[in-house]
Every structure is written in structure tokens, then in C-alpha cells.
Chain A
Amino acid sequence: MIPIVELYAAGLAIYVIGALGGFAAHLARKNGNRLTFTLTAAAVAGSVLEAIAAAACLFSNTVPSWSAAGALPGLSFSVRLDPLSGFFLLALSVLAGPVFVYTIGYRRHGAYGEKPALWSGFSHLLMAALTLVFTASNLLFFLICWELAVGASYFLISAGHQEEETRRGGLLFMLMSRAGAGMIYLGLLLLALFAGSTDFADFRSVGAKLPPPFSGLAFLLLFGGFGVKAGIIPFHIWLPAAHPVAPSNISALLSGIVIKTGIYGIARVCFDFYGELPPWAGILTLTAGVASAVLGVLYALMEHDLKRLLAFHSIENIGIILMGFGAALLFRSYGHPSLAAVAVTAGLYHTLNHVIFKGLLFLAAGAVVSSAHTRNMEEMGGLVKRLPLTALCFLIGAAAISGLPPLNGFVSEWLTYQALLAGFGATSEITRVGFPLAGALLALTAALAAACFVKAFGITFLALPRSEAARRAKPPSASMNAGMILLAGGCALAGLGAHVLLRLFDGITNAWFGVQVSSGLVSTSAFALNAPAPRTGAASPLAIGISLAILGLTPYLVWRIRRRQELVRVGPTWDCGLPGLTAAHEMTATAFSKSIRMIFSVIFRPRREIQAQYDVSPYFPKAIHFESEIQPALSERLYEPLREFVFRMSLRLRQIQAGSLHAYLGYIFLTLILLLLFGVRA
């Protein structure tokens, strides 16, 4: 019998001790190599322990919990490892282990390397806070840990705070977190008011106890608050500002698991706290998911900053996860619990997959950025020959995120398509056409994501180097490679072993819908996944992988055996008779995405300015100045007016600060009168 609570507590203890140790070392100005290595290795050990505890919790039938009373009324330090918490804890640990292995090599690079003990301390604090956020079962304790996680994230994002861009990213992150946290507080307090307690165990199906206006209001507040954290459109503006500027191992954690706290919150609210929701909630979730997915990938295509591109893709994948959740909510409203279980599984499986492949992509991007000393794709190139292992890992991550078989992205997108397809027959109302339309837009998203990653991989790694730094790029250290390889293996495993991994979700769907989802989805004979009944249709990633290997290796071996070496030569690429190809002749990232920019110009509203200088003939310009810009729609239309409004209101309110002592005495007197009248009860 695996001691779940003991392992969990041991992992948590390691994180807390590591945090304290890191801060103490920083204050004592000890940044030695051995010390930071110990701290990072301790984090790896902690994540391994947590992973074992989480996996054991998912496969056991018990719900271990632990609590200790707190000082404030309503606060108790209680922790409950129910299946949903166990799943997110598993996702956290599966990402954190390889990230900290990578950090062993990365801890001397960039902003992280300037104060490694301090940032190690904050990383441990973030890990502890996230572990507690996913497992806390007391309202106030949850909020405390949430704020701890936000604080630790802020400090980690601002590690490179000498740069203006980094400061701005951290500030925007903090501001949006405040707004989101405010909505979460209000929503959870509303629920606590009607549940009569602050224990999450008592919140089960509390949504039914709320009277109609408050029920919808609490749902909207919580959806919005957790949505800000997850990065749903229109609350996404902090994501592309904050994730690129953080050190790359932290970006992997941020995009990988910190935004999943928002998804955890949404899942808890939608399926645990609310046993029943009217159809508009499902439609809202589905629409938010579709909008985030499509807009996220469209903006990602326009980026040539490698890490900003990946940040926008996080928005896209959050959208896909929400599509699964929205479909599940609608199925539940229309009375199809087994289909709802399939849709929730699709969303949660995509969550796990996104954790793995986004973490992998950010780690690989970090290796590239620290080798080439730039985040701009237009200055990279040719890195596949200089950083071959990094390129391979990035390729696996890119293929996974594009949904190509037999990797994990394909499996979760297949599940999402099947769930959406089943939606058409789930109800006879007009809303049923939303399901296939969502499916079509999901197909558009997946294809655009593939285009974006062809661009990202191709421009960054392939062909000739576009700058001196790219030409002199050195491969990353062995531990950085090891971290990336672990996650790449995870991508392959989650794809090829999907028929085994689906059993992870049985506990969750059993608790929420009373069905064991893997018995319906996994075929007992072939290693295949079945479409949800009554539809038929199967997919077997393992068999696909084996078949592709056989069908690809056979011609390769035939060619290798029968080729004549003297007939294979290396020659220069066709250059139309010009004197040799240089990097200037290659494709650029901006040019690659031009077709999409033109086709979707309604969304982008691109602006282009070309100025050419010539002295003799316009066909032989001396210099050309090219400027191209897209207008970010939401930032302009929504946030700028909001900011203007807030500033105007603040200027009006400043008049209270009259500067006169008499006015201030008057305010104190007025407050005292009001308190005596309304605050003091007889």
C-alpha cells in the first residue's frame, strides 16, 4: 500500500525547505554551484515523490485528506486529494521533474543565473504553492495559496527586471491577477455564503442551493476570475507580455502548469460545485473556447518572437480544453452523462498533453534563445546542425502540438472531435448546430497551428544562419538535453499509450457522472480507442505508430541497400544563377505568414509602409525601408477605453485629497457618524 499522504507531505516539505534554504542562501550571499545544484536536485526529488503520490491517489478508491485548524475563523489548513486534485498534481509533477532537471544546466544562464539561489527559492515556493492550490480543500487556505502562487510567479517573471519589457510584463501579470482574484474571491464567497461553510467538501453541488440570480452571477464571476488566470480571450493580454520575458525554465512552468490552475478552478466550479447548469453556461464556455482557440493561433502566426509565439499557442490550447468542457456542460444539461464524461476526458487529457508539450517547447526555446542570444526568429536559422538534440525535441513538441499522429496532441484532438460529433444527436434544439461548427473551427485551428509550427521550426532551425550569433551557437548542456528528452518521451508515451492512460480519468468521471470513462472508450482487444457509443469509429495510436515505422523503414532500407554511393553528391541549392545563396535569400517568418495575414486581414488590419530610395532608376533602389504592423484588436477596443475610463475616474476622485486639514477632519467625523449609525448594533 503506497502511503499517499506521507509521500505528498514529504514532497511538500522538500519544496518548503528548499524555498527557505534558497532565500537564506540569497540573504547570506552564497550562490555557490554546489548549493544551487542541491536546491534544484531537491526540487526534482520532490516532484518525483509528488508524482508517485498523485498516481497512487488516482488509482486508489480512497480520498486521502489531512487537516489542521487555523487561527482565523473559517480557516483550516486542510488538504484533500480527490481524483481531480490528484490529476492536476500528477500533471504538475510530470512537468516539474524534467523542468528542474533542465534547470540544473540552465541555472547559470541569463537572468536566472544572476541570483540563482534567490530564484531557486522562489521556484520552490511556487511549487509548494501550486501543490497546495491543487489540493487545498478550505476556501481561505485555497485563496492564501493562490496568492502565494501569484506572488512567486510575479517575482520569477521579473527576474530580468533590468529590461523595460520584463517590468511591463510582470506589472501587467500582476494587474490582471488582481482583477481575476477579485472575481474569484467574490464568487467563492457567494458560494460559501449559501453553503454555510468554507470547506470545499461541503461545496459539492452547492450551485443548486443558490437562488437564480446569484447562481448565474457566481458562475460568471468564477468563470471570469479563473479565466483571467487561464488566459481566455478577452482576458489574455497578460500572457504574451509575461511568459516570454521570464527565464525559459520558468516560462515552461508558467505556460505549462500555472495557467492550468485556472483550468482546475473552472473544472471544479463547473462539475463539482455546480451539479447542474443551464445550457447557456455550456454555450458560453464553448464559445469562449472557440474564440480563444482561433484568435490565439491567428495571433501566434503573426509573431516572430519565438517565446511570444509559444505564449499565444497556450491561449489556443486553453481554448481547445474549454471546448471539451463546454461540450461536457451541454451534454450534462441535456441529460447525457456518459457523453459528458467523454467530453470532460477530452478536455482534461488535452490539459495533460498541453502541460507536457508546451513545457517541452518552452525548454527547447530556452535552449535556443540562450545559445543564439536572441528571441527573434528572424535572426536564427541553421540551428539544426548546431543543436541537433534540441531540434529533435522541438520537432517532437511541434508535431505533438499540431495534432499529428501518433503523438499525444492527436489523441486529445481526436477525443474532442468525437465529443463534438456526438453533440449533434444529443439534443433536438437549434444549439446542436454549434457542435459541428465548433468542430470545423477546431479543424481550422489545428491546421493553422501546424502552419505556425512549420514556420517556427523551419525559420528557427533550418537552412542557413541569419546572424553571427546563430552561426556560433553552441549546444546546451547535458542536463538541459536530459530535461527535454524526458518531456519528449512523455509526448510519445501519452500518445502511444493512450489506451492505458485513459484509466487515469476513471476516478474523476466516476465522481462527477457515475461512469467509468475508460471502459467505454478503450477497446479491450486492439490497443485502440473507440468512439463513444452509439457511434462507431476507432483510432489506435500505437498501431498507427508501428505501421508508420514499418511503412517508412521498408523503402528506406531498400534505398540504403541498393543505392550506389558515387551517385549521391552534395551540391549548392539552386540560386537562379546568382553568385551563391546567402541567408538573405531565405524565407523569413514575416513572409511565411503573409498569406494568412492577407486572408484574415479583417482580424489583423495590417498596415504596411515601404519607402524606397533610388537615385538613377526606380528599378535599382539604394535603400528600402519596410515597416509592417498588425493592430491587436482587443487591446485597442477593450482595454484602452477601460484604461482611459479608470484614469478619468481617478482624476475625479483625486479631488477628495483637497490638501486641507479641515476637510480630512470632516471625513473622519463623517465616517464615525456612519459607523455609529449602521455599524454598531444594540
Chain B
Amino acid sequence: MIGMVLAATAQALLLLGLSPLLTGVIRTLKARLQTRRGPSPWQPYRDLYKLFRKGMVQPDTASALFGLAPFVLFSATVLAGLLVPTIAAAAPCSAIGGAFTFVSLLALGRFFLALGALDTGSSFGGLGSSREMTISALTEPALMLAIFTVALSAGSTDLSHMAQAAIGQSWRFLAPSQMLAFAALFIVLIAETGRIPVDNPATHLELTMIHEAMILEYSGPWLALIEWSAWLKQLVLITLLANIFFPFTLVSVPGIPAVISATLWYVMKVAVLALAIVLVESTNAKMRLFRVPELLSVALVLGALALVSTFLFGAFRA
């Protein structure tokens, strides 16, 4: 019990500490690819520090829900992060939830953020909520099919068990069902974290905002919490992708050198996926909202193909 609490605290601190750096690195790399200098990778830390010290303006139309939303979003995202294995093969809180719990926790955070946006009484918040809930509704089937595929191969919905089932079988990734599931989950990652081509995280034009529209009225410490939660969700989803499909660097036996090397491998895997995201962002334009379902139906088809290939190639454990 004590061990679980310590491991959970350590993982939470690691994820919370690393997520602003990941965001900063993505922004800097994107800028460099677009032949700009770009901000420093440490800028998000400075942004958080600034926002936590600033004052706050609450809209007069808002109610208690406006203040509840950032805290619910933060706690749900952190708990979701504790369900995913990062350094060790066993996630600290895997006894309290697996893949379905993970998806439901992210849905909980999204639900309250969308309500907080509607609370402000401005059309921006309403538009952002509407678009966010629509896109998340379309990503859920693809996400579920991909999770089903991996769970069927691993014989478990526990994220730690999914990772452990593949340790020692690094060639397993080449199985068609795994590759297709990875592709489907990558598209879902782009949609859920609001990156181009689904949403532009740097825009503030009302016709193009989704996530930014929902948080338009937030300021000060509450905005800091929401931004941090969004960065954390991005890191957690990348971690999920990296460690479920390439888990061979996870530590099963404790020991200081193993932990250090696993941490370095983890940072490297996250960096590679971050580079993939940057390449996707820099080579695509943002899609019109009504084209996004086409992209997500590609993800759905990939997920369905992954499932069918599990059936065809018999690569599952009953």
C-alpha cells in the first residue's frame, strides 16, 4: 500500500514535470522545421510559473461549475496517467483501472471542461464544447477497436499486463494487427490532443478553435491547471502508445541502473513520437471541421482491420 502510494507519487511527479518540456520541445521543433527560431523548450515552465502567480478574472455569468472544471480535469488526467506504465512494467494504480477506465477518466475530464466552457455564456465556449464533444464521439469507436485488438492479443485489459505480455517479444510489433492498431491509435492521438490537422493549438480565430475556444475565459491559476492538464494528457497518450507497442524497455526487476536506463529509453521513445507528431503537424494543413469525420473514419477502418487481422492470423489469447 505504501509502496503503491510512493510509486504513484513518483510517477505523477515525473509525468507532471515532463509534460511542459514535451510541449516546449514540440513547439521548438515545429518552429525549426518552419525555418523559424521558435521559443525555447523551457518556455512552458515559465508560462506555468507566470500564470500561477497572476490574478484571475471570473466571468459574471459563471457559476461554481466554472471553478470545479479545472480541478476535475486535472485530477482525472493525473489519475489516467497513473494507470499507464512509464518506467516500470507495472503501473502504480493498475489495480484500480485498466484500458476502459483510462478512456472513461479522459471522458470525465472532457465532460467537465465542456460544461465549464458553456458556463461562460459566450458563443466561443459553446462552439468549442460542441466541436470537442463531436470529435471525441467520433474518436471513441476507433479507440475502442484498437484497445480491443491489443487486449485480445495480450489477454487482458490491464494496461500493465498489455505491456508485460509483449516484453521480450520486440518483433511482436511487426504483427499486422499491432501495426494497424498503432496507426489507428496514432490518428486518435492527433485528434485527442488537438493537433493539426484536427485542431490548431496555436490559433485564436473563432472559426478554427476547439480546445482554445473552451478555455478562452479562464485566466490565472485555473488556466495554468487546464493547460497543464492538456499537456499531461498529451504526454500520457504518447506514453500509452509508446509503452503498449514498444514495451521492451520497461523495467521488470527493480535496480538503480535498470531504472535509470529505462528512464532514458522512455525519454527517447517520447521524443521519437514527438518528432512524428511534429512532422505530421508541419506537413498538413488544418482540416475543416466537417472533414475531420473522414479522417476519424480512416482510424475506425484501421481499427476494424486490426481486429479482423487478429481473427485471421489467430494471434490472440482467449
Instruction: Please list the residues of chain A having a beta carbon within 8 angstroms of any beta carbon in chain B.
Output: 382, 384-385, 395, 399, 402-405, 410, 413-414, 417-418, 421, 424-425, 432-433, 436-437, 439-444, 446-448, 450-451, 453-455, 457-459, 462-464, 526, 528, 531, 534-540, 543-544, 547-553, 555-556, 559, 563-564, 566-575, 581, 583, 585-587, 591-596, 598-599
Say which residue of B97, B225, B293 sits within 8 Å of A544 (CB atoms): B97
A671 to B303, CA, bound (A): 66
Given A385-B63, A547-B75, 17 extra CB contacts under 8 A: A384-B65, A414-B104, A440-B144, A440-B300, A444-B138, A448-B137, A454-B129, A540-B97, A552-B71, A567-B54, A567-B56, A572-B60, A573-B60, A573-B121, A574-B122, A581-B61, A586-B123
A388 to B297, CA, bound (A): 40
Contact B136 A447 (CB under 8 A): yes
Q: Which residue of B lies closest to A449 (CB)?
A: B137
Knowing A440-B144, A595-B289 are in contact, say whether A538-B126 is a contact too (CB < 8 A).
no
A462 to B62, CA, bound (A): 8
**Chain A contact residues: helix, strand, loop or mixed:** helix
Q: Which residue of B lies closest to A459 (CB)?
A: B118
Knowing A571-B57, A574-B216 are in contact, say whether A591-B101 is a contact too (CB < 8 A).
no
Contact A552 B144 (CB under 8 A): no
B71 contact set on A, CB distance < 8 A: 552-553, 555-556
Contact A462 B63 (CB under 8 A): yes
Mark interface residues in B129-153 (1 if CB within 8 Å of A CB, else 0): 1110110111111111100100110
Separation in Å of the B150 CB from the closest CB of chain A?
11
Contact A440 B61 (CB under 8 A): no
Is B115 part of the contact surface with A, judged by Cβ < 8 Å? yes
A sample of 13 cross-chain residue pairs with beta-carbon separation below 8 angstroms, ordered by A number, consists of: A436-B307, A447-B137, A451-B134, A462-B65, A547-B79, A548-B72, A555-B75, A568-B58, A569-B55, A572-B59, A573-B122, A586-B126, A587-B118
User: Which stretch, B17-25, B154-162, B195-203, touches the partner chain A?
Assistant: B154-162
B144 contact set on A, CB distance < 8 A: 417, 439-440, 442-443
A450 contact set on B, CB distance < 8 A: 107, 110-111, 133, 136-137
B136 contact set on A, CB distance < 8 A: 447, 450-451
Knowing A443-B143, A458-B114, A567-B56 are in contact, say whether A595-B134 is a contact too (CB < 8 A).
yes
Is B227 part of the contact surface with A, judged by Cβ < 8 Å? no
Contact B61 A573 (CB under 8 A): yes
The 4 closest A-B pairs by CB, nearest first: A587-B126, A567-B55, A537-B157, A458-B118
Is B96 part of the contact surface with A, judged by Cβ < 8 Å? yes
Most chain B CB within 10 A, of A439, A443, A459, A594, is at A443
A441 to B148, CA, bound (A): 13
B79 contact set on A, CB distance < 8 A: 544, 547-548, 551
A556 to B269, CA, bound (A): 33
Separation in Å of the A411 CB from the closest CB of chain B?
10
A545 to B94, CA, bound (A): 15
A457 contact set on B, CB distance < 8 A: 115
Q: Which residue of A lies closest to B216 (CB)?
A: A574
Q: Which residue of A lies closest to B136 (CB)?
A: A447
A462 to B151, CA, bound (A): 40
Separation in Å of the A48 CB from the closest CB of chain B?
34
Contact B111 A404 (CB under 8 A): yes
A599 to B291, CA, bound (A): 9
Say which residue of A395, A453, A538, A564 sits within 8 Å of B95 (CB atoms): A538
Contact A575 B58 (CB under 8 A): no
A573 contact set on B, CB distance < 8 A: 59-62, 120-122, 217
Is B212 part of the contact surface with A, judged by Cβ < 8 Å? no
Instruction: Please list the residues of chain B having a beta carbon within 8 angstroms of any beta carbon in chain A.
Output: 54-65, 71-72, 74-76, 78-79, 82, 93-101, 103-105, 107-108, 110-111, 114-115, 118-127, 129-131, 133-134, 136-145, 148, 151-152, 155-158, 161, 216-217, 220-221, 225, 289-290, 293, 300, 303-304, 307-308, 311, 316-318
A581 to B152, CA, bound (A): 52
Say which residue of B101, B148, B225 sits within 8 Å of A436 (CB atoms): B148
B93 contact set on A, CB distance < 8 A: 543, 547
B72 contact set on A, CB distance < 8 A: 548, 552
Contact A591 B130 (CB under 8 A): yes
Contact A531 B156 (CB under 8 A): yes
A550 to B122, CA, bound (A): 32
B78 contact set on A, CB distance < 8 A: 551
A563 contact set on B, CB distance < 8 A: 221
A568 contact set on B, CB distance < 8 A: 55-56, 58, 220
A413 contact set on B, CB distance < 8 A: 100, 104
Knowing A403-B104, A534-B318 are in contact, say whether A454-B157 is a contact too (CB < 8 A).
no
Q: Which residue of A lies closest to B124 (CB)?
A: A574
Separation in Å of the B157 CB from the closest CB of chain A?
3
A598 contact set on B, CB distance < 8 A: 290
Separation in Å of the A80 CB from the closest CB of chain B?
38
Most chain A CB within 10 A, of B110, B137, B152, B158, is at B137
A538 to B62, CA, bound (A): 38
Knowing A421-B148, A596-B134 are in contact, say whether A539-B100 is a contact too (CB < 8 A).
yes
Say which residue of A446, A536, A570, A594 sits within 8 Å of B155 (CB atoms): A536
A202 to B69, CA, bound (A): 56
Contact A587 B97 (CB under 8 A): no
A421 to B121, CA, bound (A): 42
Contact A548 B75 (CB under 8 A): yes
B131 contact set on A, CB distance < 8 A: 595
A403 contact set on B, CB distance < 8 A: 104, 107
Contact B75 A552 (CB under 8 A): yes
A417 to B59, CA, bound (A): 40
A399 contact set on B, CB distance < 8 A: 108, 111
Knowing A537-B161, A592-B126 are in contact, say whether A402-B56 is a contact too (CB < 8 A).
no
A564 contact set on B, CB distance < 8 A: 55
A385 to B158, CA, bound (A): 42
Say which residue of A421, A447, A458, A534 sits within 8 Å of B129 (CB atoms): A458
A426 to B123, CA, bound (A): 50
Contact A569 B61 (CB under 8 A): no
Separation in Å of the B254 CB from the closest CB of chain A?
22
A547 contact set on B, CB distance < 8 A: 75, 79, 82, 93, 96
Q: Which residue of A lies closest to B79 (CB)?
A: A547
